[in-house]
Structure 1
Amino acid sequence: MHALQPLLAAFVPIWALTAVGYLVSRTGLLGEQAELVLGRFVFHVAMPAALFTMLAKAPLGTFANASMLAFATGTLVASLLGWAGARWLFGRAPADRAISGMAAGYVNSANLGIPVAVQVLGDASFVGPVLLFQVLLVTPVILGLLDAGTDGGAGGGADGSAARATRSARVGRMLRLPLRNPIILASALGALCSAVGWHPPAALGQSCQLLGNAGVPTALITLGMSLHGRPSTEGNTLRAEVGLAVVAKNLIQPLVAFAVGSLLLHLTAHQLLAVVICSALPTAQNVFIYARQYGLNTALPRDSVLWSTLLSMITLSAIDWTLAPTSH
């Protein structure tokens, strides 16, 4: 029997910590700058520590398999749909398009994916490759687009030499991105440690682990703080944009993964269930953190995280009931 209660247990911490953040902001307990400071702490300190720790001990070859091809295809289609909608339907700027694409296709694979996988699949072995794929391939692309889209030195010069200088500056900025961005730098260092088989000393590894453990709860509290005192000024436009992101995330991404996995790759029943379940996970709170860090409008990622998380309880249960083997 496929019950909703085991899945509910995985979602409760998300809603609880988000509610704590809302109450903290409503009471003014941490002051006016708390949301900004906590967001910077997650982006610059806690999240890099978590990614380094995870990648340093992860076998990098695990995400090169047929199941990941189905997952990657669903991610690509959903992300492109979010990006295209932001450009042609809602007229968003380039950096906001990157956030829209990420909101539509970047799954909450860590703090929600692991408990859901354990409950539905019996183990979390497929979540590891999903994490590697998002951290090593998707995240650098998104952050590169955000960095380029928020570059203040984009003024076009009147002559060719000025234009060439601008292009050179942009190229140099992009080449330095791994050194300037703590998320990419920590991921690269962790992947390098894994590739060469070097493990950090126990004291350093435990310190990074403790620091990284603060990332997810702090991000959720920051998300909850953003819900207080932030009435939307975009009305129907924002609702339509959030609706597109949620439909792409909760429905289109798992449907594409299912089609590719079943019709083209002929995955086994368990492999197919793992791919579709992970594809149907809701939008990760990282999207909100990145939008806040780059000074973008956080209404879309905030609402996308909340609504996709709420609706995913229904879609994940439906997928489990439909695709799980009878012996599950």
Structure 2
Amino acid sequence: MNNLPLVLGALGPIFTLILLGLGLQRLGFPGEGFWPAVERFTYFLLFPALLVHRLALARLGEYAVGPVAAVIVAQLLGMTALAYALRPWLKVDGPAFSSVYQGAIRFNTYVGLAVALAVFHAKGGTVAALVMAIMIPLINVLCVLVLNAHAGGSATVGGVARALITNPLILACLTGIGLNLSGIGLPWGSAAVLEILARAALPLGLLAVGAGLRLEGLRRPGLLATTSALKLLVLPALVASLCWIVQPGPLETAVLVTFAALPGASTAYILARQLGGDAPLIAAMVTVETAAALVTLPAVLLWVM
């Protein structure tokens, strides 16, 4: 319990910003068009700047990239198998199953990086960026495949490939790693510019997370509770077991388990709406998971620390 003040002190400001964003959105301040613009601005500029800055200047040789990738692939395959094994028991149609699947494997990047930096500091932020570089494309491919198979999605291989190669977070990770491995780094004063942009990414991103939560349409409480338990409890336990087998290292293990315990993201709602999934259901799942993470995430962090 010695780490309890550290964990609560780190998570308190993060969840306060999320709740502030929710409160401001419910009050209609500063206006209806503000929050979509903030989310786009953060997603396409500020967050990529943060990732490029962190990855380009990191000492990547200090981290167990191979074992981290192995754990990520194994956890995604394991959760996919578990979701399909539970489908007959869940008694859901195809669109609802695709939302359960997204709710069980997607994670909120803003919350993840904010937690990693607050709890595990600079090196934890670098490991978090590496985890995101590996996990984001894999999760997107799997979710599109499930939506195509069960929700009447019409995405093609070319469409999925285009979506991946134009994803700003994936491009930022590849750019940062490329600049690092090439030895170029961040020349011509770009490090200072990116650092200034990066400082705004997490506060605005966390406010947008709160503003994107949906309090309406909270239905099927049993299904919401089951999906939240899979995401916030079962997945961290699975990842911890995989890390015990693969042994990626203490810091890498802590960050991997932390990311497994993150709530879902609003991007799942957007993808469900585009490809025929149950969009209201996944919106409710993200809201419930974010609320439940107020309790489960500190418990997981205390466990891994």
The TM-score with structure 2 as length reference comes to 0.76
Q: Measure, in 2, the Cα distance between the counterparts of 1:239 and 1:155.
A: 26
Match status 1:280 vs 2:244: no
- The verdict on how the C-alpha distance between 1:216 and 1:147 changes in structure 2, with shifts beyond 3 A counting, is farther
Residue of structure 2 equivalent to 1:324: none
Post-superposition Cα deviations, 1:204-249, rounded to whole Å, max 9, x if no partner, equal: 3333332233222222212222346434133322222222222223
Residue of structure 1 equivalent to 2:139: 142
Residue of structure 2 equivalent to 1:111: 114
Displacement of 1:141 in angstroms is 1.5
- Please tell me whether the aligned partners of residues 117 and 125 of structure 2 are also in contact (alpha carbons under 8 angstroms): yes
Displacement of 1:12 in angstroms is 1.0
Residue of structure 2 equivalent to 1:8: 8
- Please tell me whether the aligned partners of residues 104 and 246 of structure 1 are also in contact (alpha carbons under 8 angstroms): no
Displacement of 1:41 in angstroms is 2.5
Post-superposition Cα deviations, 1:140-194, rounded to whole Å, max 9, x if no partner, equal: 112334556678xx989xxxxxxxxx9xx82322333344322222222222212
What is the letter of the counterpart of residue 289 of structure 2? S
Residue of structure 1 equivalent to 2:276: none
Matched position secondary structure for 1:110: helix
- Please tell me whether the aligned partners of residues 82 and 245 of structure 1 are also in contact (alpha carbons under 8 angstroms): no
Match status 1:316 vs 2:281: no
Q: Measure, in 1, the Cα distance between the counterparts of 2:68 and 2:268.
A: 27
Larger Rg: 1
Post-superposition Cα deviations, 1:115-152, rounded to whole Å, max 9, x if no partner, equal: 3235xxxxx546533431x222211112334556678x
- Please tell me whether the aligned partners of residues 148 and 170 of structure 1 are also in contact (alpha carbons under 8 angstroms): no
- Please tell me whether the aligned partners of residues 81 and 104 of structure 1 are also in contact (alpha carbons under 8 angstroms): no
Alignment of 1:1-328 (within 5 A): 2-64=2-64, 68=68, 71-72=71-72, 75-76=75-76, 79-80=79-80, 83-84=83-84, 89=90, 90-91=92-93, 93=95, 96=99, 99-103=102-106, 109-117=112-120, 125=123, 128-132=126-130, 134-146=131-143, 170-227=156-213, 229-258=215-244, 260=245, 265=247, 271-272=249-250, 274-281=251-258, 283-284=261-262, 287-294=264-271, 295=273, 296=279, 297-320=282-305
- Please tell me whether the aligned partners of residues 43 and 290 of structure 1 are also in contact (alpha carbons under 8 angstroms): no
What is the letter of the counterpart of residue 176 of structure 2? G
Number of equivalent positions: 291
Displacement of 1:304 in angstroms is 2.1
What is the letter of the counterpart of residue 136 of structure 1? A
- Please tell me whether the aligned partners of residues 108 and 262 of structure 2 are also in contact (alpha carbons under 8 angstroms): no
Displacement of 1:83 in angstroms is 4.5
Higher helix share: 2
Post-superposition Cα deviations, 1:274-325, rounded to whole Å, max 9, x if no partner, equal: 455334325446x4142244344322233323323422222332444xxxxx
Return 5+ residue gaps in structure 2 as ranges: 274-278
- The verdict on how the C-alpha distance between 1:142 and 1:97 changes in structure 2, with shifts beyond 3 A counting, is farther
Q: Measure, in 1, the Cα distance between the counterparts of 2:293 and 2:85.
A: 17
Q: Measure, in 2, the Cα distance between the counterparts of 1:96 and 1:182.
A: 24
Identity of aligned residues (%): 20
What is the letter of the counterpart of residue 103 of structure 2? S
CA RMSD of aligned residues (A): 3.7
Q: Measure, in 1, the Cα distance between the counterparts of 2:4 and 2:22.
A: 26
Return 5+ residue gaps in structure 1 as ranges: 119-123, 157-165, 321-328
